[in-house]
A and B are shown apart, each in its own frame.
Chain A
Amino acid sequence: MASSLFVINEWLPEDLIGANGWERQAESFKFLEILRDKPDRIAVLEGSPWMGKAYRLMRHQDRIIRMLSKYLHQSILVDSNKCLRLNQGELKSLPDEMKARSPSEDLYLVEVYYTAGASALITTDQKLLNALTTTGIHVESRDDFLKDYLLISN
């Protein structure tokens, strides 16, 4: 079975913490479950805002959020089959045009995508989506991506 490598922007920890409502929280949990069952992986950058949000998730007091964070940590982030962990020193320099088009706050996501040779960058950020559409980066909105990804498993 072909495997995919995704770069997910910060919607995943935000969804899991419940910031976007229970429906999105449940969808994101389901995404993790399907990711676990399929040979797919995500790529993350150590010390990034994404990891900061994941860490805050782990410090949450709510029982369900704590369980979701444990699942994210122990079943995805700690698993070398499920998560490619990159550090700053491993990031490749982006081609000039790609760099110029990337919003500065999301530059690290594009660098992770480019370095990891990812299949897709999944975002909720319309500005990022618009900026990257013509750069050769396969960028998809969270909702479009999950519509297909969650459907495939059913």
Chain B
Amino acid sequence: MRLTIKNFRSIREQDVELAPITVVYGPNGSGKSSLLYALLTLKNIGLNPNQPPAGFFNYGFASLGGFESVVFDHQTERSVALGLTLERDGRELSYKVAIGENAGDFALSLEKSGEIDIKLNLPVPFPYPANQQAQASVASDYGSLGVIWNGITAQVQAEQPSQEAQERANKLATYLNELIETVRKVSFVPLKRGFSKPQFSTVSISPMITTEDEIASFISNNNKYLVPKISLYLEKILERDLRVNFTPGTAIFSLDATDRNSGVASELVNEGFGVNQIVYILAKCLHHDAGWVCIEEPEIHLHPTAVRNLARALAQIVREEEKQFIISTHSESFLLALLALVDEGEIRPAELACYLAHKEKRVTRFERQAVNEKGQIEGGLTTFIEGELEDIRAFMKVTN
């Protein structure tokens, strides 16, 4: 799947191929987070286009400001354009949204072998209550199929009704809606994460599921199925398990971790922040409704050994839970652990996309570094040791 980003923050125009594990790294302020925020913006639009553009850039845990703050170079005559393209079986399905100051465009296209099957374009004002329609007709073996699309969801009807024709129509509708469904299943783990309270009571859960109360409620609501899974991975990463303990006769509960070596249990808030935040990360990763999970710097507050364990756990989640990750990181330990998994044959090179983010004249570039089957990466990882290299050069100069 390819993510297209245009005029979004410091990104002028970039196509980024996403893999089951996509990792972006580079200096502070190079635009790594913008890659993750682009997907989250698409999700916001998919969930609720009926809001001013500033609402699309408000993620709950952070707001990027209004359109002027977000558009490249603050030039409001430009449009922020975000899109996804999926290539499969010789077909290319593309979903794009262009956001202007007060209006925008939705576009959906389906091409096969270079020939356009469907091309829909819908100019809309923002806020947009999803009340407009673009239509197309597609030929099939069972007669024409009529496509009606409101910029978010497509419906397909057989124009000459028959069971086969309707089945074909349903199949096409599922296919056309695949990208918007993917977008809706984007989950985000922000830098501000973890649990700061010893006890929780159940709250209602929003689609973005961000606050610690929401995460805690989600965990306690899914005590039977989710908690054992979180424990499984928590044990691999930090040798702890997770339990939800309810206060009898109340709706109050605590999230407790038990050290598997000592048997000592304590509330998450009383664990180090490393353990605390990993529970938050795992809850979001293992959420049944999460498909693509964006994680900002998962390594923070973790010992390098735990960082390595985390990388291995995430790779296992990709394999066994069919999740995909887009991860920003400053940790070479994290990246080296993933490369080691490629060398071990646990991850195929194509399943790991590595991008070095850097800025050229204020413009963000994501440079893909190809990974080979031996876990080597084209261009190496010098970016992580530039500062230390300066120290070595200085040292060598002194000794000379």
Per a CB cutoff under 8 Å, which of A26, A30, A64, A78 touches B381? A78
Chain A CB within 8 A of B89 CB: no
Interface of B is mostly: helix
Comparing A65-73, A98-106, A139-147, the segment that makes contact with chain B is A65-73
Task: Show the binding face of A for B, using Cβ within 8 Å.
Answer: 22, 26, 29-30, 36, 64, 67-68, 70-71, 74-83, 85
Q: Which of A30, A70, A76 has the most CB of B within 10 A?
A: A70
What are the nearest 8 A-B pairs in CB distance?
A79-B380, A80-B376, A74-B381, A75-B382, A75-B380, A26-B396, A67-B388, A22-B399
Contact B374 A67 (CB under 8 A): no
> Which chain A residues lie closer than 8 Å to B379 at the CB level?
79, 81
Chain A CB within 8 A of B389 CB: yes
Bound complex: CA A22 to CA B339 (Å): 33
A77 nearest CB across to chain B (Å): 8
Bound complex: CA A82 to CA B370 (Å): 13
B residues 307-362 with Cβ under 8 Å of A?
Answer: 332, 336, 339
A70 nearest CB across to chain B (Å): 5
> Which chain A residues lie closer than 8 Å to B391 at the CB level?
67
> Which chain A residues lie closer than 8 Å to B377 at the CB level?
78-80
With A75-B385, A78-B339: A85-B374 Cβ-Cβ less than 8 Å: yes
Chain A CB within 8 A of B378 CB: yes
> Which chain A residues lie closer than 8 Å to B400 at the CB level?
26
Contact B376 A76 (CB under 8 A): no
Contact A67 B376 (CB under 8 A): no
Q: Which residue of B lies closest to A82 (CB)?
A: B380
A33 nearest CB across to chain B (Å): 8
Bound complex: CA A67 to CA B381 (Å): 13
> Which chain B residues lie closer than 8 Å to A70 at the CB level?
385, 388
Contact A74 B392 (CB under 8 A): no
Listed by A's residue number, 12 A-B pairs whose Cβ atoms lie within 8 Å are: A22-B399, A29-B392, A30-B396, A70-B385, A74-B382, A74-B384, A75-B382, A77-B376, A78-B376, A80-B378, A81-B379, A85-B374
> Which chain A residues lie closer than 8 Å to B392 at the CB level?
29, 64, 67-68, 71
Task: Show the binding face of B for A, using Cβ within 8 Å.
Answer: 332, 336, 339, 370, 372, 374-382, 384-385, 388-389, 391-392, 395-396, 399-400
Contact A71 B374 (CB under 8 A): no
Q: Which of B375, B378, B380, B382 has the most CB of A within 10 A?
A: B380
> Which chain A residues lie closer than 8 Å to B374 at the CB level?
80, 85
Bound complex: CA A36 to CA B380 (Å): 10
Contact B376 A79 (CB under 8 A): yes
Q: Which residue of B lies closest to A85 (CB)?
A: B374
Contact B332 A74 (CB under 8 A): yes
Bound complex: CA A75 to CA B395 (Å): 19
> Which chain A residues lie closer than 8 Å to B384 at the CB level?
74
> Which chain A residues lie closer than 8 Å to B380 at the CB level?
36, 74-76, 78-79, 81-82
> Which chain A residues lie closer than 8 Å to B375 at the CB level?
78
Bound complex: CA A22 to CA B400 (Å): 9
> Which chain B residues lie closer than 8 Å to A82 at the CB level?
380
> Which chain B residues lie closer than 8 Å to A76 at the CB level?
380
> Which chain A residues lie closer than 8 Å to B370 at the CB level?
80
> Which chain A residues lie closer than 8 Å to B372 at the CB level?
80
Bound complex: CA A75 to CA B376 (Å): 10
Q: Which residue of B lies closest to A83 (CB)?
A: B376
> Which chain B residues lie closer than 8 Å to A68 at the CB level?
392
> Which chain B residues lie closer than 8 Å to A78 at the CB level?
336, 339, 375-377, 380-381
Per a CB cutoff under 8 Å, which of B332, B339, B385, B396 touches A29? B396
Given contacts A71-B392, A80-B370, 5 further A-B contacts (CB under 8 A): A64-B392, A67-B388, A78-B376, A80-B372, A81-B378
Q: Which residue of A lies closest to B374 (CB)?
A: A85
